[in-house]
Structure 1
Amino acid sequence: MSHDYRLPEDHQQALLVGRVCCGDARGPTLVTVRDDQVIDISASVNIMADLLDRDDAARLVAQATGPVLCDVTTLLDNSAQSPQVTPHLLAPCDVQAIKACGVTFAVSLLERVIEEQAAGSPQRAGELRTELQQLIGGDLSRIVPGSEDALALRDELKARGAWSQYMEVGIGPDAEVFTKAQPLSSMGFGAWVGLHPASQWNNPEPEIVLAVSSRGQPVGASLGNDVNLRDIEGRSALLLGKAKDNNASCAIGPFIRLFDAHFSMEDVRHAMVSLRIEGESDDFMLEDSSDMREISRSPESLVSQTIGDHHQYPDGFMLFLGTMFSPIHDRDGPGQGFTHHRGDTVTIATPRLGALINRVDRSDRLAPWTYGIRRWLADQQRRT
């Protein structure tokens, strides 16, 4: 079988785990992929948070047996259909908290400052971009957050009246860590993602997402789309919740790849994450990439700023590591920058994790989120 770009390039060696909707009363089912077959491993473990908390998670998945649901190409094809048919992929996480880090790349730092000072206006953004680049100078990516050089730059920017709360989290000692979405609310591979209907300036944010155990140990990684509303967050950082957490505004998938002898945090640190946006109605195409080697805070430091003596996550968490992608390409007219159109297809990919593909619509036009903790618990009880 030829390689399916939606899977890791070395998928025959990859320990992939995910959640599948089979369309029956059992609810979501945990699966792995082995020899291109999707295997139901729910007899061994059926709660992703439980699996990721096990010291022997990789061994358990490698040895787990169960019925074959379908081949993996069929699962991906089913998931990409609209409406989806069963079996299809869900987001690979279940009861974990879904956290995200912002302003972890120098390029995105500048764009967050521009959003804030433009007060949500894409027309003003181009002028501000030039002004700030001339004012700051140098290469922000070389600044170590919290270092003496970073604090000296902070003081200089304050003196010039150019300081921003985004600069504080970009080069200051404390990372921005926020709640992206509620447990069980994320969309999976092939599903539609949503934009708040009030937003007129928005974009995808392609990111690597760490799967972290309740002990604060990263145990695997996936891909994510931290859908972003630039105009709403730009009006005020206090609107971050409205800008980030809406119906279908978070996507994770297609699978979680567990760390093992073939895949480690080193692969995350050196990943190149690509993005492609394809317009449905205007033949628009945008391609870009994020190099994880340019991140200003290490993945381990972001994890430690999220969990520790100051905060615990008894069910573990998924952690978006941030993006350097902030599109400035004009789509609808000169000086207007990029924004989504309904029907856009977004593909986020990296060779060791495969591809996460979603289409875009308004949050209020998509199916409401109804599957929460109580229904999930009821499904788990029916399995016992």
Structure 2
Amino acid sequence: MRYYQLGDADESRLAVRTPDGLYDLTAANADVATYRDLVRAAAIADLNADEIASGIVADAPRIDEAAIEGSVRRPLVPSEVWAAGVTYRISEEARREESAMEQIYVDVYEADRPEVFFKATPSRLVGPGEAVGIRRDSDWDVPEPELGVVLHRGEIVGFTIGNDMSSRSIEGRNPLYLPQAKVYDRCCSIGPCVRSAASLEDPQDLEMWMTIERDGDRLFEESTNTGGMVRSLEELVECYVDHNAVPELSVLLTGTSLVPSEGFTLREGDRIDIGIEGIGSITNPVTVV
């Protein structure tokens, strides 16, 4: 099943997409207004989210697909977003290109311990249709499309799409600048939904693609597969939760293998489209922050 947050600041509701259509869970049960409400109920009942949703759908009204145009929001509000780096060969190669200390990325790619770092808080996070940011003090900025693992109390409950925006010029000067290159206003987007872990057979065998458009021209278009990840999702999650007081609801981005060439940088007004098989696609314009 896929879970969507719909509505605006005045009225928000949780919807679920099943093989039969799209249904309004909140209209059937007002206590299930967000994805957090759903996974909390599942934890209390010792069930998964799909089992809870299935019990509500029978009384839930169907939603007209045309009626939700422009109303899809962030599918969840995680207390934290973290990210993993150098999990694909092309990512390791790209990070070496940008850095004056390239050997450290080779060491991370081949090391037992993965690179896992803090990425965003809710205030820095945007959803479908909202603008992602590029820093005014950076002259080389790129999106990084990634499979996002959704965690409830450290356990995998679903998957989403993430865009780990990166200021490569800042990180390239010195790896110690990574927090400034990665954590800033509008530095990350997630969406359009949460695909339940119970309904996704193999998250490490999914097609992933990205396009970037400027003034109607397509500047970038490539695809890959999450099977190219050198580490397992379980390994990345273990590194994140081990020795860490993780929040109730969090997202861990798992690295990228779609990297624009060295001569490309984002500009204000660009449009980024990212899709992952079995989850959907998310579109974000670009603004300067």
Give the structure 1 partner of residue 209 of structure 2. Answer: 274
Q: Which has the larger radius of gyration?
A: 1
**Contact 1:212 1:318 (C-alpha < 8 Å) held by counterparts:** yes
Give the structure 2 partner of residue 301 of structure 1. Answer: 235
1:23-42 paired onto structure 2 within 5 Å: 23-24=9-10, 28-34=12-18, 35-41=20-26
1:43-54 paired onto structure 2 within 5 Å: 43-53=30-40, 54=43
1:21 has 2:7 as partner: yes
1:193-212 paired onto structure 2 within 5 Å: 193-212=132-151
Q: 1:350 aligns with which of 276, 280, 288?
A: 276
**Contact 1:37 1:70 (C-alpha < 8 Å) held by counterparts:** yes
Q: Distance in 2 between matches of 1:18 and 1:113?
A: 38
1:293 match: secondary structure: helix
**Contact 2:140 2:265 (C-alpha < 8 Å) held by counterparts:** yes
1:146-161 paired onto structure 2 within 5 Å: none
- CA deviation string 1:147-200 (max 9, x = no partner): xxxxxxxxxxxxxxx862222321111111111110354211121111111121
- CA deviation string 1:114-148 (max 9, x = no partner): 2112xxxxxxxxxxxxxxxxxxxxxxxxxxxxxxx
* Shift, 1:40, TM fit: 4.0
- CA deviation string 1:252-288 (max 9, x = no partner): 000001122x423x1x11011011111126x243111
Structure 2 unaligned spans of 5+: none
Amino acid at match of 2:16: T
Amino acid at match of 1:289: S
Q: 1:104 aligns with which of 65, 68, 87?
A: 87
Amino acid at match of 1:52: V
Structure-2 change in CA distance of 1:280 and 1:40 (3 Å): farther
* Shift, 1:113, TM fit: 1.6
1:285 match: secondary structure: strand
Q: Distance in 2 between matches of 1:70 and 1:50?
A: 20
- CA deviation string 1:193-243 (max 9, x = no partner): 1111112111111111011120x3211101111111110111122221221
* Shift, 1:90, TM fit: 2.0
- CA deviation string 1:339-364 (max 9, x = no partner): 1122111111122111111111112x
Give the structure 2 partner of residue 141 of structure 1. Answer: none
1:92 has 2:75 as partner: yes
Number of residue pairs aligned between Structure 1 and Structure 2: 280
Give the structure 2 partner of residue 176 of structure 1. Answer: 115
Q: Distance in 1 between matches of 2:23 and 2:127?
A: 16
**Contact 1:33 1:72 (C-alpha < 8 Å) held by counterparts:** no
Q: 2:162 aligns with which of 203, 217, 224?
A: 224
1:238 has 2:222 as partner: no
Which is strand-richer, 1 or 2?
2
TM-score (norm 1): 0.68
Amino acid at match of 2:269: G
Give the structure 2 partner of residue 320 of structure 1. Answer: 253
* Shift, 1:64, TM fit: 1.9
Q: Distance in 2 between matches of 1:351 and 1:326?
A: 19
2:251 match: secondary structure: strand
**Contact 2:25 2:53 (C-alpha < 8 Å) held by counterparts:** no
Structure 1 unaligned spans of 5+: 1-14, 79-87, 118-161, 329-335, 364-384
Q: Distance in 1 between matches of 2:21 and 2:38?
A: 21
Structure-2 change in CA distance of 1:316 and 1:343 (3 Å): same
The percentage of aligned residue pairs carrying the same residue is 29
* Shift, 1:68, TM fit: 4.7
Structure 1: 4+ residue segments shifted above 4 A: 65-70
* Shift, 1:67, TM fit: 6.1
Q: Distance in 2 between matches of 1:207 and 1:99?
A: 12
Q: Distance in 2 between matches of 1:63 and 1:319?
A: 29
Q: Distance in 2 between matches of 1:20 and 1:183?
A: 17
1:360 has 2:282 as partner: no
1:114 has 2:97 as partner: yes
Amino acid at match of 1:276: T
* Shift, 1:316, TM fit: 3.0
- CA deviation string 1:52-104 (max 9, x = no partner): 352421111222257659523432x31xxxxxxxxx22211214321100110
